[in-house]
Each structure stands twice: as structure tokens, then as C-alpha cells.
Copies of this chain bind each other. A is one copy, B any other.
Amino acid sequence: MESLDQFELTKDFLERFDEAIETQNSQFITESLEGVNPADVTSLLHEFSSEKSKYVLDLLPVDKSAEVINDLDTDVRVKFLQHFAPGEISKFVNELDSDDGADIVNELPIKMREEIIEGIENEEKAANVLELLRYDEDCAGGLMAKELIKANVNWSIGKTIEEIRRQAENVQKVYAVYVVDDFDRLVGRVSLKKIVMAEDHMKVSSIYDSDVISVETFQGEEEVASIMRKYDLEALPVINRQGRLVGRITIDDIVDVITELAEQDRQLMAGISEDVEEDDSVWMLTRARLPWLVVGMLGGLLGALFMEAFEHNITLTLTFFIPLIMATGGNVGIQSSSLVVQSLANKSAFSKTTYTRLWKVFWVAILNGLLLAAMVFLGVQFLMGSGLRLALIVALALMSVVLLSSFMGTATPLLLDKFGINPALASGPFITTANDLLGLAVYFGVAHLLFSM
């Protein structure tokens, strides 16, 4: 029963393990890792240096170390594999599904790739990996594995089961058998459940399901993810332009795609330009953050220049409300754009026209704007004891900024999406900076108008 527990990394264990590596106590290492899930070994190795990890990995059976390497974060893996000779990497790739193998080969320097593929023992695997390298990473072809089980529509169940026995060694997870015609074109699927329940002499053609959902190799990862999510699929066959079955995408890869896309959106919203993580180097983190900070800074300098130009129309008291105007504009803008980003991501709400969207946003903005303006009007007059005119200016400017930021926050992601740019960018610093400047202009514009009345 203890195998039901998940493997736990205690501080105590980590210290003992570290000591075992230092003293080359291979017995302790192999014993404590026996029966441990490769994913847990990966977590463990993330705690140690590349050299120490290599020592541990060399003690494991090759199929297990291959899984561990497959589980590593990409950037960790790239550094780690520098300690291995091409021949060693070939052995790992030989153990993995073709898609995972191709991902690993793809990350390595071009001159190493050929050598690795040549070193793969299983010739079919080598050919499969080579084929997968041709596809773009972000499309169905780049996500699929070549490993799958297929049956000819004219076969009997008995023959199909034989085929499963023959192929099963190469295919880790079998959800269904794909049914093809004599030209290898996908015509349907049979679930394993149906095969277990059928009699051996029955024909595939009498039990297969012709309503099979598939994608073509060139379809993008976002589309693949949304199809698998919509139809609750755990595996999705991939066909080429001729309708021939060329591969299969499994849900575990799509779960990773969904998580990565959400992370990308978050980084865009936060203004981080590269795919960095907290444990990257100080220099990488600085480089990923600086460009957006410079954009914000240039915007701030522009704002200063703008205020300097209108110096004679601005009183000091007026500037007290700059933080209020800017913060509200920023908040309204981000709220608006993230609602649009969210509904663009959920393709279910696909039918809304730009016109109805803007019209609704307009009413929400009017309501929010009126309520905020009323509160600010009272606040400025009573809390700060300022005159009626100042309170009126601030309230009116606030109302205008809410309207303008709502419009900008809604229109920008829609526009970005139309041009094929990730709409999450609209919540990032570039647009926020533009909004800040617009807010300032509106504020001083309103002030100028009301002062000269």
C-alpha cells in the first residue's frame, strides 16, 4: 500500500541524497529511487547541479532516465544535455515516444541532430523523429506522435487484437484503435472498450464509429487545444492533406499547451518580453523586463514634456489629481481589455459583432463613470474643501477618462486580434502608457475648457 503515497521531498532526504552523491554511494541512490515515478525523480534532480544529476541518471535504467529527461523544463534540459555525448542522447530518444524525442532533438544544436538520429537503434523510431522535425512546433504536426494503433476497416477483431499485441510495445497509452481504408485514409475509430467487449470473429467494419474528429497537420496549437477541450477528447488523430492518418495528439501534451498559453498571456499582461521564470539568471530577468520599463519611462517623459508645454494653463492644485485620473484610466482600461481577451479565448462567444460589443461597453462605462464622478465630486468638494469649479473639472475629466479608457481597452485587443497579434498585449505596458498620456491630455483639456468659460 505504501506505493499509493506520493514521493515526498523532505529536507532530510535531500541532505542524505546529496551526501550519497558526494560519496558515490550508488547503492543508496538506486535503492531510494526504485519504484519512484520518473516525474518525481525529475523534481528531485531540479534540486541538484547538472554534474550531480548526471551521476544519478547514469545509475538508473535507460527507459527511466529517458522519462526523467523528457520531464525536465526545456531550459534546464538544454543545459543538462551538454554533459552528454550524442550517442547517449540517442539512447534516450530511442526509449521515448517520437514526439517527445523530436522535441528534445529540436532543442539541440543543428550539427548534433544528425549524429543523434543516426545513433537511434530502432530504425522506425529514427525515421519517425526525422519526419516530425519537419513540422513547426506550434502546429498539429509538431504536437503529434507517430505512435498509434491502426486497423484496416476490413480486418476482424481477432486480427486487430493481434495487431495491438504486436504494436503495443511501442505505444504507451492506447485509447482507441484508428480505422483506415486500403489507402491508409482515416475513416473512423473503435474504442478499446468496444474491442474488449466484441467477439474475435466480428469485423471492425461492423463496430467502428465513423464520427471521428481529426485535425490536419498544419492546424495551430490553439485550435487543436480548443477542439480537444470542446469535444472532451483524450486523443486526436492527425491527417495529412490526402486524408492519410499520420499521427496522434494526446491530451497530456495539450494540457501543457493550455498552461503555457495562459502563462504567455500573463507575461504579456505584466510586460515581460521573453519567456523567463523566476529562477533564470539576474541578467536574463533584467533583459526581459527592461524593454517595457523603457517604454513606460519614455511615456512618462513625454507626459512631462506635454505638461511643460501647457505650463501656463496648469495650476499646482490641478496636478494633485493626476494620480487619481491616471490610476482610474489604467484600471478601467485593464478591466475592459481583459474581458475582451477572455471572451476571445472562449470561442463559444464568437458571434458577437464589434458594434454590439462597443455599444455595451459604452453603457457600462457611462454607469461606472457617473457613479465614480459623483463620488469624486463630493470627495473633492467636502474632503478637500476645494471650490465648485475644481470639483467639476475633476469629476468631468474622470468621467471622460472612464469613457475613453473603456473604448480603448475594448477596441485595442479586438484590433490586435484582427491582425493576428495576441490580444493579451493590450493589457500590457505599451497600451497602458498610451492610455496614461491620453488621460493626461483629456484632464488638462477639460480643465482648459472649464477655466476659460
- Proximity string of chain A (298-315) to chain B, C-beta cutoff 8 Å, 1 when within and 0 when not: 011101110110010011
Q: Residue among A210, A263, A334, A380 with the most chain B CB within 10 A?
A: A334
Q: With the chains together, A114 CA to B260 CA distance in Å?
A: 42
Q: Say if the beta carbon of A440 comes within 8 Å of chain B.
A: yes
Query: Residue on B with the closest CB to A429?
Result: B331
Which of B232, B266, B293 has a CB less than 8 Å from the CB of A338?
B266
**A342 proximity list for chain B (CB < 8 A):** 263, 266-267, 277-278
- Taking the closest CB of chain B, its distance from the CB of A69, in whole angstroms, is 15
Q: How far does the Cβ of A84 sit from chain B's closest Cβ, in whole Å?
A: 21
Question: Is the beta-carbon distance between A197 and B164 smaller than 8 angstroms?
Answer: yes
Is A303 in contact with B278, judged by CB distance below 8 angstroms?
A: no
List residues 266-284 of chain A with CB under 8 A from any CB of chain B. 266-267, 269-272, 276-279, 282-283
Q: Which of A50-58, A87-95, A104-112, A367-375 interfaces with chain B?
A: A367-375
Sample 26 A-B pairs with CB under 8 A, ordered by A number. Answer: A3-B210, A3-B212, A4-B186, A37-B211, A37-B213, A47-B351, A161-B196, A234-B252, A265-B266, A266-B266, A267-B342, A269-B269, A269-B270, A277-B342, A277-B343, A278-B340, A283-B367, A289-B335, A290-B372, A293-B335, A300-B321, A308-B320, A311-B316, A316-B319, A323-B326, A323-B437
Q: Once the chains are docked, how many angstroms separate the CA of A232 from the CA of B100?
A: 13
A285 touches B341 (CB 8 A): no
Q: Would you give the shortest CB distance from A246 to chain B, in whole angstroms? A: 14
Minimum Cβ distance to chain B for residue A316 (Å)? 5
Residues of B within 8 A of A296 (CB): 327-328, 330-331
> With A196-B195, A368-B289 in contact, do A279 and B352 touch (Cβ < 8 Å)?
yes
A384 touching B277 in the complex, CB below 8 Å, given contacts A272-B338, A316-B319, A368-B289: no
Within 8 A of B (CB), among A229-280: 229-234, 239, 243, 251-252, 254-256, 258-259, 262-263, 265-267, 269-272, 276-279
Known: A37-B231, A164-B197, A294-B375. 14 other contacts (CB 8 A): A168-B193, A171-B193, A196-B196, A228-B255, A263-B342, A277-B346, A282-B364, A289-B335, A293-B335, A296-B330, A304-B323, A308-B320, A308-B384, A323-B437
